[in-house]
Structure 1
Amino acid sequence: MPAWLLPLVSLAPATTLPPASLPAQQAPTGQESPASTGEEDPELEEDIVVTGSRVPRGSVIGDITPEVVLSGRDIRAYGASNIGELLEELAPLTGSIQGRGAGAPVVLLSGRRISGFREIRDLPPEAIQRVDILPEEVALKYGYRPDQKVVNIVLRRRFNAITAEAETNLATDGGRQVHEADVNYLRLANGSRFSVDGEYTHSNPLFETERDISNADPNRTLLAASDTAKLNATYNRTIFGNVSATLNGELEGTNSLAGLGSAANGQRLLRDSRTRTGALSYAFNGDLSKWRWSLDGGYTRDWTTTLTDRDYAAGVQRDRARSVTELLQTEATLSGNLADLPAGAITATLKAGASMRDIHSESRRADVFTATDLSRDQVSGQANVDVPIFRNGPIGALSINVNGAVDQLSDFGTLGAVGYGFNWRPVEAIRVIGSMTYEDGAPTIQQLGNPVIVTPNVRVFDLTTGQTVNAITLEGGNPNLLADQRRVLKLGLTAKPISGTDLTMLVNYTDSRIENPIASFPTATPEIEAAFPDRFDRDGAGALIRIDNRPVNFESSRQRQIRWGFNWSETLEAPPPAGPDGQPLTPEQIEERRSAMRERFRQERGSGTSESGVRTAGSRGFGGAGGFGGRGLGGGRTGRVQFSAFHTWRLEDTIRIRPGVPELDLLDGSATGARGGRPRHEIEFNAGYNRNGIGVRLNGTWESGTTLLANPGGAPSPEDLTFGSLFTANLRLFADLSQQRALVQKAPFFRGSRVTLAINNLFNQRLEVRDAARAVPIGYQPSLLDPLGRSVRLSFRKLFF
């Protein structure tokens, strides 16, 4: 405990201290801390424990404790610019290996549902007090399905700042520049929240001639030019006494221009895409007796227009595709206690929702016009019940849960889901979770009805002939897709093996079996062409000239995998305050210094301080003196060191395409994508060190090599491909200039500012692909697989108060 806290703790009654079993990060919170002695940042401090509650402010409901808890200082040590970037940094901790999506987590705010991630995506991390990361089963308690981790973000009670950031990103191989500017305003005060964020991004094109590529076309881009502008605003306040109401709106527009190569007459072939998105969403949260309720939803409209040039006999002709997608939805959830048992209360969560989706798409190619109008009206319901069996029984604490869901879709009929599981804590430091889920899932309306877009001159490696060809590809929706049925078994272990340390170990095993899985059309292999002969066109010489890439249903698939790893962090505490003689100060001397600092803040910065010594919200926002600055954002002389590593081991990954067709083993020579099969092993790591405002972070991923065989299970072929292992690392260095005292004294402008230098793909690594003769196929040249390579980003960020 820092020495300056001793006087405050000595005044607090014993009942206000948190239970010893609670980790320090989970201590209940109430009010802001008093002014410090100067050995800590006087304007950004952790909340002090002043209540006897065993549950930290803003915690999630239920008896499942967080896998990882990050304090405000942990969060600031990541050096992220907003919550969106923070979640990217936390991806190794929040990733899930079960479910339909890409593993993105459910995000809650102070244990409550939000109107959508747009509501908090752009908020500065300095406004966060705590982040809890919880397992997928917690999602059930909020009306979500149990296939996503849960991230619960707790904001500070007071904050008031404008955050401005400008950055530029350059590829070290040349040819690509991205420039971005962002301004955000956030005010937290008196239980209300208001934020507005504006962002603009410009990206220059990258052409084939700017990379070492054989047969480069000067009119073909590897990365398109684009401009994106976005405006987002959120307002939250308490209404009707105890109801939290939130309204969020966002407008976003993107224009992109890509070069598709050269026509026969030398004219450029272009693709011009324009996307506009408008969204308005809401969320209401409240309490009714011992029950929590929420109502959230909104309206979203997306417009997309794509103009594609096509080479034909009379010259260049332009195809047009347009789509408009609308979504209107609302969901209501209710959570609370049903009955009391000796081991605790039986709790339930009920959810009901309705949505209307419409998509209108049309495409014109030459004189052929195609139009599609699809709509989906959906009514859904979901229930989850948790029953405690033991609180402190002979086998520890044990609870079970049962859940079910039903969806009535206007275009797919009735789909259902049912699941059950257990939560067992044999000892305080170990938790075991198991679950089994059976569910049906319909294809998205976009997978069914997206407009057909034809793209010429796409480089495709034809495994049948061993040649790379320029083929025509078709993209869009497939109205003949079927719903899938999946069964997922999960067993998870979380352990905190060393008491008094912030070390967490996690192990998860999943076994997933899916009937009629929906997938993007796989790469061109003899196996795939035999199963879907109508998707491939060849000329008289057998050369591939056209592929239909619209999504398909396979017959079945199965995946089994283990993901295990750990997260560890440690606070590098500041030395205790010392006097001129170098000896530690006594509590009386510390109190004198604190009083002097409070008086100085009142005189020089106009902050309000109560008689009890606790800072109040002054006219300039959080912390009285405008929130941050002085000695910086990183906690004075304290620091943090953090390291996490996770290993995914895929035990089985197979697909049965159609009856009578051999099974694809993605771990042993088969593939459904252009980048080979599935890596059997994947390792993610994230490490960071931060002290005195100087921080460094290093994260990366390693994937084992794969193969793509022309005749899986048969004799070797000259067309066989070997995909090497790939290691990529990203380095980020940042400096909170506020903590550099001499600099701030000379140039007060740098108060509240940060400079960041980031290097992505630090070692400029690209996937290496070789055929049986150890040659690189034209379509697998490294700069085609990863055009950008290593890039350097420089940014300057400042908070104004």
Structure 2
Amino acid sequence: MLLVTTALSGLMAGVIQTAPTPPQTPPQQTPAPTTAPAAEDDDAYDLGTVSVTAARPRGSVDTDIPADVTLDASQIQAYGASNIAELMTYLEPLTRSSSGRSDLQPVFLVNGRRISGFREIQGIPTEAIERTEILPEQVALQFGYRAEQRVVNFVLKANFNSFTGELTARLPEQGGRTTAEAKGNVLRISGANRWSLDAEHTRSSPLFEAERDLRRDPGATPYDLIGNVTSADYTAACADDPSGCTVIDPALGTAITPVPGGTANPTLADFVAAASGGVRTGDLGAYRTLLSESDSTTVRGTMKRDLNSTTQLTVSASLQDSSSRSFNGLPGVALNLADTNSYSPFSEDVTVFRYLDDAASLQRETDSLNGELGVVLDGYLGEDWRWTFTGEYERTETDTTTGRGYDASLFNARLAADDATANPFAALSTADFTRIANDTANSVSEVLSAEVVLNGDLYELPAGSISSTFKFGADTRSLDSTSVRSGVVTDRSQSRDRFNGQGTFNFPIASRRADVLPMLGDLSVNATVGYEDLSDFGGLSSFNIGVNWSPVEPLSFLVSYADEQGAPSISQLNDPVIQNVNVPVFDFATGQTVLVSQTTGGNPGLDADNRHVWRVGGTWRPIDGQDLSLQSTWTWSVTDDYLAAFPTITPDLEAALPGRFTRDTDGNLLSIDARPLNFDKYERQDIRTGINYSRAFGTPSAAASQSPLPGMPGGVRPPVGGPIRVEGGGGGGGGRMEVRMGGGPGGGRGRGPSMQPGQGRWNISLYHTVRLQDEITIADGLPVIDMLDGGATSANGGSPRNELQLMSGVFRNGFGGFMFATWREGTTVNGGTGPDITFADRTTVNLNLFMDLNQRTEWVAKYPILKGTRIQFGIQNLFDSRAEASTSSGDLPLNYQSDYLDPQGRVISLTLRKILF
């Protein structure tokens, strides 16, 4: 027995790595005996067979709920991502959740523990990741979150040092916009200690309408740089039916005519000659941006240290300075020219519509400075409880300046006085007009928060321990804003103090391992209750119950119900009110695209919502020893008083909210109040099904077979997370020695063999979403907006009933590629009395090819400068797929044109990355 114990100790020392975090069992706890009690557990000792069940794999989440997807280092390599932030964009189909009020970012963990925020890890290179686990929403409860976000756990390598530099250039194939990025990262991991420093800068040039194929409607007011002349009573209706409008002059016989070019003193004959050319449309494509110019610089840092044998401290901070600038066209002036004016050749009073050549007077600039500081303390309380303290401070200051153009009052006064120096047909100087003061907005948002989370076992049941999580938190938020619109100053201040608590309990009912009701498999029930008190909304409650069941080892089910109340954010309540000018909007009532004033900002009249979510999901791993899993989840959510951003304009929306729209006496749309609002109810239901498969391929190199793990006889190399079996040499009688690594209920099926030197790795994931219901009730008594049948809340149409997402990656010997493809079924927007708009099916493919030259040892030996170098070539939207819309009238509005919905199209990128270990 001593021989067996000694061999087993050596084996375990070689297989189990030292964890970078304190062990899941406190150091004070008495170690488990090396020999198990006889006859009490057949798996422990049986006639010369020794079987030891070790702790979960290092860094795993301590939960009975198995991960939906687990990616080892070789699988992560196949994605070709440079850092964790980029990896998360590739993993979006795997981390998507329909359980939340909106598309929330997942809950992030490192080595199974909470972190101070995504800023702590987003710059970490993927080479530092040992394993990534993606878990269901129910797991978020045991970390103090609500069950509306998936959980992503990154297990980092125990020891890792690197310095990474990266340069990226992006350019649309059609040109017109370039993006340049420079990033740097320093990372040091030594056991439980870690520190990192990131810096990045991104700059993008603007993209103007003139650089894309857009077709605009002339608009109701025919401004132009050279100009158009109209009768004094001209309206948009005159262009279609001039019979009811005053003519400019009998010689012209029309209510509108273009100003002749090439002369500052046109005669009536010049106007008659110019009239044959038609009205000037005043194309401002060169002065309007589709994508803003932007600039951003960010610095982040993290330090994680052991304070003693049981307590860890993490401090992280970031500072981001960003700015953007967009252009909204040219300022227009309406010049009133009497028939008695010296420059007028007409028999009637007219109006001259001109643009001033000053795009900067209508530009919008936004500058933002964001700073964050986070602290995490993590340790043990006694032997059975673990505590985590999280504190965070965030401050964001944003300044917005919106140009308002020019006032023509003084110039019109000179025209009325027949001033000889005021010529409406000559080149106009901005010095002759009064610059209207810019609209400005300043907001300062601050958040100070603290939370304590306790995890531990309450009581031992036959099937296992009742585990629990308690969270207690408090935070204070404030948003102070000052806006100036048309000279009117508005100061607003909103603050909120919140105290919250949440308790989660997991009750094991049946267990195969403990031989408790083994005919049921593994069965547990968890329940969560939460309450928060908000100073501006009062008390809000939440409740969640879930059942985790694995009837047989490869199959597991998760059923849950949630009832939660949620308050609007103080940004939704108190963001500064900003008026955006010349915003193109398609008006279904008139069938035209018009330029309107759009008001955005906070809405202090918002109410809290109440959400009910039912979920039933299952995961099946059908083949032992193969990394194959199938999963499907049905989700049904009903939200009363649903909080939403203002949707795209439809006839139903305007009928329900007439106060949000302003029209003139002729029915022309002038302005929209697009601040957020409460819908009466939002109900949606979908089924999301996915398959994930990964395997190594190729023949391992000779070196691989000669590199056994420490303590492993015969060069045995176990699969990651799978069982390790060594035949012979066990004890007396040539028995069997078996060591099992990890594996909770429902997760015992072994993964496929890990990639060996000389081999490659191939991944594929396919997800299908079918939406069974997606309906909005704007207000009680009004028709339901069916997003699957004619309704819409965005310019991209309604919700596709079916959607597919395909991901596939391959990597071998330093060369790799990753493909991400999506397909969305077409939708239709019901235009009411106006035209219907139909969106065709759309398929988009993104491709990422890369060469990791560090793995080409013969190249590195010949050219040492290539060490640690990787070249990445990417194509976003490989086949230049665009949203293709058509209308029942045949005329496609600006807002639904392909180049407007997707201005960039196919984008090519090139990245040069250098990592020094």
**Aligned partners of 1:109 and 1:153 also within 8 Å:** yes
Cα distance in 1 for residues equivalent to 2:812 and 2:497: 54
Deviation (angstroms), 1:660: 2.0
| 1:275 counterpart residue number | 368
| 1:367 counterpart residue number | 487
User: 2:857 aligned to 741, 762, 781, which one?
Assistant: 741
Cα distance in 2 for residues equivalent to 1:498 and 1:787: 45
Deviation (angstroms), 1:354: 0.3
| 1:327 counterpart residue number | 447
User: 1:722 aligned to 838, 843, 856, which one?
Assistant: 838
Query: Which structure 1 residue ranges, 4+ long, deviate > 4 Å from structure 2?
Result: 14-18, 584-588
Deviation (angstroms), 1:412: 0.1
Change (3 A) 1:587 1:111: closer
| 1:303 counterpart residue number | 397
1:123 aligns with 2:124: yes
1:674 aligns with 2:795: yes
**Aligned partners of 1:171 and 1:177 also within 8 Å:** yes
Deviation (angstroms), 1:17: 6.7
Whichever residue aligns with residue 328 of structure 2, its letter is L
| 2:807 counterpart residue number | 686
Cα distance in 2 for residues equivalent to 1:586 and 1:285: 37
Whichever residue aligns with residue 530 of structure 1, its letter is A
| 1:598 counterpart residue number | none
User: 1:284 aligned to 377, 382, 386, which one?
Assistant: 377
Deviation (angstroms), 1:585: 7.4
**Aligned partners of 1:701 and 1:729 also within 8 Å:** yes
Cα distance in 2 for residues equivalent to 1:62 and 1:226: 43
Whichever residue aligns with residue 487 of structure 1, its letter is H
**Aligned partners of 2:140 and 2:151 also within 8 Å:** yes
Cα deviation, 1:153-187, whole Å, max 9, x if unaligned, reads: 11111111100001101110001100000110000
**Aligned partners of 1:229 and 1:252 also within 8 Å:** yes
Change (3 A) 1:370 1:748: same
Change (3 A) 1:313 1:296: same
Cα distance in 2 for residues equivalent to 1:697 and 1:16: 40
Cα deviation, 1:614-647, whole Å, max 9, x if unaligned, reads: xxxxxxxxxxxxxxxxxxxx97422110000111
Whichever residue aligns with residue 254 of structure 1, its letter is S
**Aligned partners of 1:16 and 1:51 also within 8 Å:** no
Report the 3-state secondary structure (helix = DSSP H, G, I; strand = E; otherwise coil) of the residue aligned with 1:261: coil
Deviation (angstroms), 1:800: 1.7
Whichever residue aligns with residue 234 of structure 1, its letter is T
Change (3 A) 1:355 1:586: closer
Change (3 A) 1:781 1:724: same
| 1:628 counterpart residue number | none
| 1:23 counterpart residue number | none
**Aligned partners of 1:29 and 1:56 also within 8 Å:** no
| 1:148 counterpart residue number | 149
1:352 aligns with 2:503: no
**Aligned partners of 1:298 and 1:328 also within 8 Å:** yes
Report the 3-state secondary structure (helix = DSSP H, G, I; strand = E; otherwise coil) of the residue aligned with 1:262: coil
Report the 3-state secondary structure (helix = DSSP H, G, I; strand = E; otherwise coil) of the residue aligned with 1:783: helix
| 2:529 counterpart residue number | 404
| 1:389 counterpart residue number | 509
Instruction: State TM-score, norm by structure 1.
Output: 0.87
| 1:219 counterpart residue number | 287
Cα deviation, 1:663-688, whole Å, max 9, x if unaligned, reads: 11111011122221111111111101
**Aligned partners of 2:700 and 2:756 also within 8 Å:** no
**Aligned partners of 1:96 and 1:104 also within 8 Å:** no
Change (3 A) 1:521 1:587: closer
Change (3 A) 1:415 1:231: same
Deviation (angstroms), 1:573: 4.8
Cα distance in 1 for residues equivalent to 2:6 and 2:835: 75
Whichever residue aligns with residue 750 of structure 1, its letter is L
Deviation (angstroms), 1:214: 2.0
Cα distance in 2 for residues equivalent to 1:140 and 1:489: 16
Report the 3-state secondary structure (helix = DSSP H, G, I; strand = E; otherwise coil) of the residue aligned with 1:555: strand
| 2:496 counterpart residue number | 376
**Aligned partners of 2:795 and 2:895 also within 8 Å:** no
What are structure 2's unaligned runs of at least 5 residues? Answer: 21-50, 217-282, 333-355, 409-433, 513-517, 716-754
Change (3 A) 1:11 1:763: farther
Report the 3-state secondary structure (helix = DSSP H, G, I; strand = E; otherwise coil) of the residue aligned with 1:266: coil
Deviation (angstroms), 1:741: 3.0
Question: How do residues 618-637 of structure 1 correspond to structure 2 at under 5 angstroms?
Answer: 636-637=757-758
Cα distance in 1 for residues equivalent to 2:707 and 2:803: 53
Report the 3-state secondary structure (helix = DSSP H, G, I; strand = E; otherwise coil) of the residue aligned with 1:742: helix
Deviation (angstroms), 1:441: 0.2
**Aligned partners of 2:703 and 2:757 also within 8 Å:** no
Whichever residue aligns with residue 225 of structure 1, its letter is E
Equivalences, count = 718
Cα deviation, 1:775-798, whole Å, max 9, x if unaligned, reads: 322322111111111111100111
Change (3 A) 1:51 1:131: farther
Change (3 A) 1:459 1:316: farther
**Aligned partners of 2:19 and 2:191 also within 8 Å:** no
| 1:646 counterpart residue number | 767
Cα distance in 2 for residues equivalent to 1:31 and 1:744: 33
Question: How do residues 152-551 of structure 1 correspond to structure 2 at under 5 angstroms?
Answer: 152-215=153-216, 216-217=283-284, 218-264=286-332, 265-268=356-359, 269-288=362-381, 289-314=383-408, 315-317=434-436, 318-392=438-512, 393-551=518-676
**Aligned partners of 2:19 and 2:192 also within 8 Å:** no
Cα distance in 1 for residues equivalent to 2:703 and 2:465: 51
Change (3 A) 1:109 1:575: closer
Deviation (angstroms), 1:313: 2.8
Cα distance in 2 for residues equivalent to 1:123 and 1:791: 25
| 2:888 counterpart residue number | 772
Cα distance in 2 for residues equivalent to 1:425 and 1:29: 29
Report the 3-state secondary structure (helix = DSSP H, G, I; strand = E; otherwise coil) of the residue aligned with 1:260: coil
* Identical aligned residues as a percent: 42
Change (3 A) 1:368 1:425: same
Coordinate RMSD, CA, aligned: 2.4
Whichever residue aligns with residue 292 of structure 1, its letter is R
Cα distance in 1 for residues equivalent to 2:894 and 2:454: 57
Whichever residue aligns with residue 169 of structure 2, its letter is T
Report the 3-state secondary structure (helix = DSSP H, G, I; strand = E; otherwise coil) of the residue aligned with 1:214: coil
Cα distance in 1 for residues equivalent to 2:56 and 2:872: 36
**Aligned partners of 1:718 and 1:771 also within 8 Å:** no
Report the 3-state secondary structure (helix = DSSP H, G, I; strand = E; otherwise coil) of the residue aligned with 1:310: coil
Deviation (angstroms), 1:311: 3.0
**Aligned partners of 2:692 and 2:764 also within 8 Å:** yes
Change (3 A) 1:576 1:367: closer
**Aligned partners of 1:28 and 1:53 also within 8 Å:** no
Whichever residue aligns with residue 280 of structure 1, its letter is L
| 1:44 counterpart residue number | none
Cα distance in 2 for residues equivalent to 1:51 and 1:194: 36
Cα distance in 1 for residues equivalent to 2:538 and 2:708: 71
Cα deviation, 1:416-453, whole Å, max 9, x if unaligned, reads: 00111100000000100000000100000100000011
Cα distance in 2 for residues equivalent to 1:17 and 1:701: 46
**Aligned partners of 1:450 and 1:477 also within 8 Å:** yes
Whichever residue aligns with residue 796 of structure 2, its letter is R
Whichever residue aligns with residue 809 of structure 2, its letter is G
Report the 3-state secondary structure (helix = DSSP H, G, I; strand = E; otherwise coil) of the residue aligned with 1:78: coil
Cα deviation, 1:502-554, whole Å, max 9, x if unaligned, reads: 01111000110111001111222121111111100111211111011000101
Cα distance in 2 for residues equivalent to 1:297 and 1:533: 45
Cα deviation, 1:658-711, whole Å, max 9, x if unaligned, reads: 122111111101112222111111111110111111001100211111111123
Cα distance in 1 for residues equivalent to 2:889 and 2:80: 46
Whichever residue aligns with residue 390 of structure 2, its letter is D
